[in-house]
A and B are shown apart, each in its own frame.
Chain A
Amino acid sequence: MEKKMALSMRGITKRFGSVVANHNVDLDVYEGEILAVLGENGCGKTTLMNMLAGIYYPDEGKIFKDGQEAVIRSPKDAFDLKIGMIHQHFKLVDLFTAAENIVLGLKEEGRYDLNAVNSRVSAIAEKYGFHIDPQKKIYEMSVSEKQTVEIIKVLYRGADILILDEPTAVLTPQEIDRLFDVLRSMKADGKSIIIITHKLHEVLAVSDRVAILRKGEHVATVDTCDATESSLTEMMVGKKVSLNIDRIDPVNPETRLEIRHLNCLNDEGLPVVRDVSFTVNSGEILGIAGIAGSGQRELLEAIAGMQPIDSGEVIFINPKKNRPVTFFHKTLKKVKQLAAQGAFHDWNGNPVSFNGMGNALIRRLVGSGEVLFNEDEVIDLRNRTPLEIRELGIRLSFVPEDRLGMGLVGSMGITDNMMLRSYRKGHAGFVDRRQPRKLAEEIIRELEVSTPGVNTPVRRLSGGNVQKVLLGREIAFAPKVLMAAYPVRGLDINSSYTIYNLLNKQKKNGVAVIFVGEDLDVLLELCDRILVINSGAVTGIVDARTATKEEIGLLMTKTDTGKEAAQ
């Protein structure tokens, strides 16, 4: 089986300041094959490929195309060498049609004729089995359609080497299958395809060979048929790893959060959360699994009060039974009202009523902790703003997936970021930076955040440290419910484990944890129960101790049978 070499990299090194992103990497790509480039987050896969696409220029080493040494200084040079890259973040102009985006930047002879372009685009699409409307505007397209446009854009330029950076991250399983079919038909056409990924099953499903990178270095290239998931993992991480997360059984689980028939619409009025019901218990981790964009974000934001709820209930059960009443989140009037309803008792178990008492006396009684709740507080969070939720005394923490765009302010230091949650404290119109500063120092010390100081903008910290700051802040407010969306995305293995441990500690403390994850192995190891969501609807809730990956995988793609029957 003699194959012709299409591209090879020899001794490629790239440094960013003192950080070595790639060190002495050799890589070969043959004609008519699919090569997977596998590695952990931050191992330098994307940097390496960006040097082929003309985004970066290598500090050392050489690139050969068809046996000739090639110098690639710009995307244009890459195109001239027939190398095309589909970036993880699409580079499309929203306002333009697919066809306009495809011809953008091309210097073609003759008159600019969009009709001719349209028909050529359709021809390419047909050849490889794409479906595309050349005249559709990008902003009207789904993610998978946009990806199709990016691929055709590269093919239109006559590329015979295609680089795809994490192409499946945003696709549904059906779309992934379709993409893989297209890749195979391009391979059959003699093109070379490089696919960057960290998902093992995809590597095994589609590639011919796998090149593994670890910490910027090329570890090995193996034929896919000789590889297994465990052998690949070992090479990727550098040692035999077993995902061994210490999982304890929930102690005295009590319902903390109860979601009933929740429905949400997005800005365009389409349903994004459909009739979702589940409960979350104290002392357990509830995992949420699903393909990216299946409504996980909207579900969490609806609970946190950021996403308008169309119908349904979000019930928070505040553990107040046999605990003292305070004025922290209740006015005197409210306390009197509750007392009249017979909601309190004293240490001896006798009902408390404030009949005939003056306000001062009531204040003293409550202040001394003599008055206790009979029952837990039940509060509907529906359509309350995050501020209202906090003012009700509900300790609900939320670690959103967009850390610097939502959870933190990138240009502010750690101290000022601590204030995001607490700046309203105190009655005067001024903020108090002393407490947040103390908290910031505490988090830096306890979570070992590496930062030059409490006032260094968090944007300059590494991904793992940013996440520690965010999670640290949310945990510092002693939550009863902690929601974390993709808390380990983009983090290396070590930082990931720090995060898992933090979540486990919260669980041990009796916090109800919701963990939205993408890695099924982690979900199965870490969680107690796993809720699977597809297209905004719950397709199943399984016991993580007994469930299998296949079972969850099936649920992730299971369509709503009832709805299908109705159609």
Chain B
Amino acid sequence: MTSSKINKAHEPLFHLSKRDGIAFWKAWLIRIAAVALGLAVCGLVAYLFSDKLRTGKKTLEDFYYCFIKGAFGTERKLWKFLKNMAVLQCISLAVTPAFRMRFWNIGAEGQTLMGVWGAIAVAFYLGGKVPEWLLLIIMFAAALVCSAVWAVIPALFKARWNTNETLFTLMMNYVATYVVSYFLVVWVPSGSSALGKLKYGKLPPLPFGNQYLLIILISLAMTVLLYIYLRHSKHGYEISVVGESERTARYSGMNVGKVIIRTMVVSGLLCGLAGYLIGAGLDQSVNTESVGGQGFTAIMVSWLAKFNPLVMLLTAGLVSLLNSGAAQISQDLNVSGAFPDVIVGIILFFIIGSEFFINYRIVMSRKGHAGKEVLK
């Protein structure tokens, strides 16, 4: 079989190699190109589903203008956009420490929801019985504790038995959902399970500026704090080492289990803060959709920012911009209210895909020129 099987074909035309690094501007150029491409596809999809676009009542220019209009059209819209971004940023910050440790916590949705629930539960039971300022403090504490507990449970099992954290935290989301719906049944005897706005426990806005300004400032402050925590604190250093190699961490004397648990508590506390902002700062109520999938969106935001809190402002901003723009589109162009999800999904596909071109190089194979520089 030898002679017949021997073939004369040559090496493939190109092969991939991992980049050692890429110029900063090049990486961003690739990302911007990806977003632009994604927006083009969004236009195409919108054209398919919007009668107004097809019949020519609205033009594609209107379509793209919606993104600007949706986020910055009026002052009210601008503040709303900033508020949405601030909440998303806060949850994105929350998942980041764990991700830097390569602990795939996809339970931010549930952890934040438990934070909202904790705050609202306190307001429900104690509202009117204690002074408002005290109530707000207890609510804050309850939100932090509930979220932290929810986050630390999977961490305990991971530290002790190496239980798969991705699946565990995912399941915890749904347990949280039903905890909330259980209490809604208990709290609302009428059977509608819809808890109206509570009278007590509203986080007062700042004496100046917009009603959302406080939330935005808190979120910004947390961004800076977390950046410093991850980059310059001993904890941050430990997180990086554990994420890279547990054996190295043990060699240098770290208690890996302790680091995992502590980091998840930090994640949980940040989720609790986000939950408090939602519960006490915005909704004064809780339902199973209080977090509305932002816990999942946050994972993508954090990942897109390469787990860097400062860059996260940009990615959280982008996703919020797409959301408010797409909401405007579904209103103006008369498509379903679910359209923002489609837009966000498409843009994310393109950004996710573009990372490949940042991390890898396509090397054309010529004789005498191959890309790899490692001598085995």
Contacts and interface: CB of A to CB of B under 8 A. Distances in A.
B232 A402 contact: no
A17 B245 contact: no
B6 A17 contact: no
Given A42-B375, A387-B253, A430-B232, A73 B237 contact: no
B250 interface: yes
B262 to A, nearest CB: 12
B26 interface: no
Contacts of A17: 370-373
Given A409-B245, A431-B237, A460-B20, A59 B252 contact: no
A400 interface: yes
Interface in A74-91: 77, 80-82
A410 interface: yes
B3 A68 contact: yes
Contacts of B367: 59-60
Contacts of B2: 65-66, 68, 70, 81-82
B6 A306 contact: no
Nearest to B253: A387
Given A60-B368, A387-B253, A16 B374 contact: yes
A80 B5 contact: yes
A415 B373 CA distance: 24
Interface stretch (A97-105, A251-259, A418-426, A547-555): A418-426
A19 B372 CA distance: 9
Interface in A44-72: 44, 46-47, 50, 57, 59-60, 65-66, 68-71
B11 A405 contact: no
Nearest to B371: A17
Contacts of B160: none
Given A16-B370, A386-B252, A406-B248, A71 B234 contact: no
A400 B376 contact: no
A15 interface: yes
Interface residues of A, number: 53
A407 B248 contact: yes
B247 A430 contact: no
B11, B240, B252, B373 — most chain A CB neighbours (10 Å): B252
A429 B233 CA distance: 6
Given A70-B6, A419-B237, A431 B372 contact: no
B129 interface: no
B7 interface: yes
Contacts of B374: 16
Contacts of A18: 373
Contact of A405 (B7, B233, B235, B248): B248
Interface string B353-376: 000000000000001111111111
Contact of B241 (A47, A66, A390, A409): A409
B197 interface: no
B248 A409 contact: yes
Interface of B: 1-3, 5-12, 20, 232-238, 240-241, 244-245, 247-248, 250-255, 367-376
Given A73-B12, A410-B245, 6 more contacts: A17-B371, A47-B376, A69-B6, A71-B7, A82-B2, A423-B252
